[in-house]
Amino acid sequence: MSILLGNYDFCGPYVAQTEILDKPGLIAVLVQTTVNCQEEFELLELVETASCRHSAARAFADCTVEGALSLAVYYAETDEHATRCRLKSEIIAEFESEYEADVQENIDEEKVCVAS
């Protein structure tokens, strides 16, 4: 199974770090939620790392969120730190632009309701 974050297919979701390879990449820390009787994943954090397995172990150990924690992994084709940071920034920017669009849509809907 894979999870699409931005334009990238992440492997997962994983519930144990033993399933994750010891390669460089990005780790998406996810919590599973139920919305309208459908299981969905909410992105809590996106981590750039030289060792996905090591960072996965730390993510599971540090988690204080209630719910089913899962990780999804994007294995980088290169071990260059700058490339992984660029990928992370690109994905976060896409989430931020989607969030801003949703907020603007809600504001526009509220203006219509007030004007009615």
Q: What pLDDT is attached to residue 102?
A: 54
pLDDT of residue 114: 44
Tens digits of residue pLDDT in 64-97: 666 678 899 999 988 899 999 999 999 999 888 7
Q: Which amino acid would we find at residue 87? A: L
Helix ranges restricted to H, the chain? 52-62, 81-115
For the chain, the domains span: 2-115
What does the pLDDT read at residue 73? 96
